[in-house]
Every structure is written in structure tokens, then in C-alpha cells.
């Protein structure tokens, strides 16, 4: 049985005060036992939120590929671990686009995350022009083959995949449940081809891109969709809570 996951990605929004209150209020509500809830939050909020959280797991949104050193403004995987993170989001399309992250670099960050006991939410997804020309499956397949397919099986078991079509991020334009299902099935096939069927069946694959309470249930009900990575709608406690309950 695969893990069901509702993950939020706050990106560069909110402050520690907001984060602490959010966790307190959210955890005061009845939580489904079988859903793993993860919040990827700004660095300045990691410590207080992980100290406050009893059920929600806390994630960093990036880490550097080196252990330490003269990298002004960067954060290491060990720093994330030291403030209570259990996860790190890597390969987000915004990091790929604005910080020129390649799958080679992302792979080295993934290794560093594992060395520091972090599990990884690995993001992949195609831009609009690739979707329009119909080569989205090959595009995402290559992202996977250049990164997580180079791990061993044990390492892969510490990865959650998030499929986030770039054209659906922050645009209000969601992939249809059929489009999400078809890409998730393709991703599972790539994992099966590079590892085996057991690994493919075990890995959780989240959908991300304009997930909200109004569409979460239908998307999450697809057989190969195991949850969501939610941006905007994870910033409001009510809407994120509705999404947690959408399985
Ligand atoms: P939105 O839910 O705001 O579209 O963002 C998705 C995302 O990028 C999550 O990582």
C-alpha cells in the first residue's frame, strides 16, 4: 500500500509567526491517520515549526550539493536536518528555471540529502510548449532517467515523486484528472523499466499544479495519483485542511 501524501510548498511566502500558528491550528483539527502531511516552508520558519509540529513533517525547499563552505546565502542538507526537517523538496521547476538547476546538479543534491537523513520530494514536469508538441512523456522520462533512475533501490525508497506540469503551476489551469493519471502511469512505467515492478508500485507520485479543494478529490482518486504538492492553496489553513481530507 503506497503512502498517501498531502504536501504544501509555501515557496517564498510567510514568516515564522504565521508558520507556528498555522501548525497549531491545523493540528488541532482531526487528522486522517493514513495521510502523511508535509509542509515545505521558508528556512527561517523550519526550527519553530518543527519544534511545534507533532504530526506534520517539515521540509526544506532546497539544499546545497556540498557539505559546507564558502557558498554565501546557501543552506546545507545537514543544516536542514539539524532544525528537524525530515524532507527536502528538490528539482522544483522554479529552481530549474530561475537558478539553472540541471538534473545532474539535482542528483548531487539528492545524494547529499540522503547522507543527512533527509527524504526527497523530487519534482519533474514539462513546460507548455513540450506539452503542446506532444513530447511530454519523453521529456519527463528523461528528467527521471537523468536523476532518480541513477539511484539504487534502497535510495529510491526514500524518494517521493511530484509531477508538476509547469503550465499548471500558479496559473489556475490544472491538468485534467486524465492528463495527470496518464503521466503518473508513464512515470511508474519508467520506474518499472529502470528498477522493477515492486519499486514502481511502492513509490508515491504526487500531482502539483493549481491543486485546490474543488479539484483535489477528483485528481487524488486517479489510480496512480497518491496525493498532491500544493502551492497557493496550502497557504490557507482551511483550504489545505480540505485538501488533506480529499483522499
Ligand atoms: P500552485 O499550487 O500554486 O499551482 O503551485 C504548485 C507548486 O509549484 C507546488 O510545488
Query: Can you spell out the DSSP letters for 77-122?
Result: HHHHHHTT--EEEE--HHHHHHS---HHHHHHHHHHHHHTT-EEEE
Mean pLDDT of 229-246: 98
Residue 172 Cα to ligand 1 midpoint, Å, equals: 10
Measured in residues, the chain has a length of 247
Model confidence pLDDT, tens digit, residues 174-192: 899 999 999 999 999 999 9
Q: The C-alpha cell of 244 is what? A: 488533506
- Given the CA of residue 92, which atom of ligand 1 is nearest to it? 10
Distance CA 39, CA 60 (A): 8
Confidence of residue 96 (pLDDT cuts 50, 70, 90): very high
CA distance 189 to 131: 19
Indicate the SS3 state at residue 211.
coil
pLDDT tier, 202 (very low <50, low <70, confident <90, very high otherwise): very high
Closest-CA residue, ligand 1 atom 9, reads 231
Going from the N-terminus, what domains does the chain have, and what CATH number goes with each?
A: 4-244 (3.20.20.70)
d(C-alpha 102, C-alpha 201), whole Å: 27
State the Cα–Cα distance between residues 91 and 85, nearest whole angstrom. Answer: 17
Is any ligand 1 atom within 6 A of the Cβ of residue 173?
no
Indicate the burial class of 6 (C-beta count within 10 angstroms; 0-12, 13-18, 19 or more). Answer: buried
Percent of all residues in the chain with a pLDDT value above 70, rounded to a whole number: 100
Taking the whole predicted model, whether its pTM rises above 0.95 is answered as yes
Residue 235 has phi, psi (to 5 degrees) of -85, -10
Residue-wise pLDDT for 114-146, tens only, equals: 999 999 999 999 999 999 999 999 999 999 999
Residue 31 has pLDDT above 90, yes or no: no
What is the pLDDT, as a whole number, of residue 243?
A: 98
- Which of 167, 229, 239 to mutate for ligand 1's pocket (most ligand atoms within 8 Å of CB)? 229
Active site residue 27: no
β strands within 135-247, DSSP E:
159-163, 205-208, 227-230
Backbone angles phi, psi at 18, to 5 degrees: -60, -45
Local structure of residue 174 (DSSP, 8 states): P
40 lines ligand 1 (CB under 6 A): no
pLDDT on residue 139? 98
In this prediction, residue 173 has a pLDDT band, given cuts at 50, 70 and 90, of: confident
pLDDT band, very low/low/confident/very high, at 200 (cuts 50, 70, 90): very high
Does position 231 have pLDDT exceeding 90, yes or no?
Answer: yes
pLDDT band at 172 (very low <50, low <70, confident <90, very high): confident
Is residue 208 in contact with ligand 1, taking CB distance under 6 Å?
Answer: yes
- 92 as an active site residue: the answer is yes
Query: Cβ distance 139 to 126 under 8 Å?
Result: yes
Burial of 174 per CB tally in 10 Å (0-12, 13-18, 19+)? buried
- Centre of ligand 1 from the C-alpha of residue 29, in Å: 24
Amino acid at each position: 500500500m503506497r503512502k498517501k501524501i498531502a504536501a504544501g510548498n509555501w515557496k517564498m511566502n510567510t514568516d515564522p509567526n504565521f508558520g507556528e500558528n498555522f501548525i497549531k491550528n491545523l493540528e488541532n483539527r482531526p487528522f486522517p491517520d493514513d495521510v502523511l502531511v508535509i509542509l515545505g516552508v521558508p528556512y527561517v520558519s523550519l526550527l519553530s515549526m518543527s519544534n511545534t509540529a507533532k504530526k506534520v513533517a517539515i521540509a526544506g525547499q532546497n539544499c546545497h550539493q556540498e557539505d559546507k563552505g564558502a557558498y554565501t546565502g546557501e543552506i546545507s542538507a545537514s543544516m536542514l536536518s539539524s532544525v528537524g526537517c525530515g524532507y527536502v523538496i528538490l528539482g522544483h521547476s522554479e529552481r530549474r528555471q530561475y537558478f539553472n538547476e540541471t538534473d545532474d546538479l539535482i542528483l548531487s543534491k539528492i545524494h547529499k540529502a540522503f547522507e543527512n537523513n533527509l527524504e526527497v520530494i523530487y519534482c519533474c514536469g514539462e513546460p507548455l510548449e513540450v506539452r503542446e508538441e506532444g513530447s511530454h512523456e519523453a521529456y519527463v522520462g528523461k528528467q527521471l532517467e537523468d536523476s532518480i533512475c541513477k539511484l539504487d533501490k534502497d535510495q529510491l525508497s526514500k524518494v517521493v515523486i511530484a509531477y508538476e506540469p509547469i503550465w499548471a503551476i500558479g496559473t489556475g489551469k490544472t491538468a485534467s484528472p486524465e492528463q495527470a493519471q496518464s503521466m503518473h502511469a508513464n512515470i511508474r512505467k519508467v520506474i518499472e523499466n529502470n528498477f522493477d515492478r515492486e519499486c514502481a508500485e511502492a513509490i508515491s507520485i504526487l500531482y502539483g499544479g493549481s491543486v485546490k479543494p474543488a479539484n483535489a478529490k477528483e485528481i487524488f482518486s486517479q489510480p496512480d495519483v497518491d496525493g498532491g504538492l500544493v502551492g497557493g492553496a496550502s497557504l490557507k489553513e482551511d483550504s489545505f485542511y480540505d485538501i488533506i481530507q480529499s483522499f
